[in-house]
Structure 1
Amino acid sequence: MEAKTEKKGNIIDAFVGGARNGFKIGTNSMVPNIIFGFAVISILNLTGLMEIIGKVFTPIMGIFGLPGVAATAWMAIFVSMGGAAGVIAGLFTAGQMTSAQVAIMLPALLLSGAQVQFMGRMLGTAELDTKYYPHMFTIATVNGIIAMLIMNYFIV
């Protein structure tokens, strides 16, 4: 019986290979989502829809110490984490959210983020029974809400 010998690469080759893969992920996945988030905010501001969204959602988002326009970021969180990050960054650069309000949103982004993408990419691949999807989405959403409440408590 012959033993297989594995060729060991050096640490520099491993680093360069990892950097290439990271760059591909960044340019092919993350950057387009962030640009999309900025574009959505620009379109909503130009059309006047942002003002309407802000007025409608002010009572709800106010519970978390956020302006009503933060609802656009909350909605984006469920679709794409990169897109939601772009929306949050767009709201911040437009002066519609403060740095403290961004800090309130970030844990929700991480805890509730990209549920629609995860449904196909991870849950489907793992062959999880679809009857458990609502439970998982509810838990993630509640975690995000709790995180925003806690952040609001400590920031304010």
Structure 2
Amino acid sequence: MSTENGKKLITDIFAAGARNGWNLSVHSMIPNVLMAFVIIYILNMSGILKIIADYTGFIMAPLGLPGESIAVILATFLSSGGGAGALVALVQEGILNAHHIAILLPGLALVGSIVQYMGRILGVLGVPGKHYFFLYGICMINAYLAMLVMRFIL
């Protein structure tokens, strides 16, 4: 609907935004979160998550986190929603607690969906592929340092 002078009503704008938000959550966010739940469940039940934790524990130990928590960072690297799903799945499994979550959250914010942004931002801007590793490395170092600082704040 529009007013007489052609401007849209605030209710119409709100409704359009709500529809767009609903579509985004149903078609993008929920599948990522569910995918993470399923993957963590499968990895945990098969014992692969424990193997991953044993081999990567040295990376997470200085942060005061169990080795399994690297799955959260890896999932977040692909999708923020997937990272959130992995985090919740590990909390439900009893592997992570509130203290661990507080340490992980700054890292999740700094790593969030970096692979998705590769095409959406770096590709559109024409950044040469040879720079991606360096750019991702900076992102990962920042995330690790933020989690390290959070560990010592807590």
Q: Which stretches of structure 1, 4 residues or longer, exceed 6 Å deviation after superposition?
A: none
* 2:82 counterpart of 1:88: no
Unpaired stretches in structure 2, ≥5 consecutive residues: none
1:124 counterpart residue number: 123
1:60 counterpart residue number: 59
Separation (CA, whole Å) in 2 of partners of 1:143 and 1:59: 18
Separation (CA, whole Å) in 1 of partners of 2:28 and 2:58: 34
Q: What is the letter of the counterpart of residue 101 of structure 1? A: H
Question: Which one has the bigger helix percentage?
Answer: 2
Change (3 A) 1:125 1:150: same
Percentage identity across paired residues of the two chains: 39
CA RMSD of aligned residues (A): 1.4
TM-score for both structures, normalised by structure 1: 0.89
2:133 counterpart residue number: 134
SS in 1 for 2:124: coil
1:58 CA displacement? 2.2
Separation (CA, whole Å) in 1 of partners of 2:132 and 2:40: 30
Of residues 132-141 and 96-105 in structure 1, the stretch that sits farther from structure 2 once superposed is: 132-141
Separation (CA, whole Å) in 2 of partners of 1:97 and 1:60: 16
1:149 counterpart residue number: 148
1:25 CA displacement? 0.6
Work out the number of aligned pairs and report it: 150
Alignment map for 1:4-153 (pairs within 5 Å): 7-153=6-152
Residues 129-151 of structure 1: CA distance to partner in whole angstroms, max 9, x if unpaired?
33432332122111101111011
Q: What is the letter of the counterpart of residue 28 of structure 1? A: H
Separation (CA, whole Å) in 1 of partners of 2:135 and 2:53: 29
Q: What is the letter of the counterpart of residue 107 of structure 2? A: A
Of residues 79-88 and 26-35 in structure 1, the stretch that sits farther from structure 2 once superposed is: 79-88
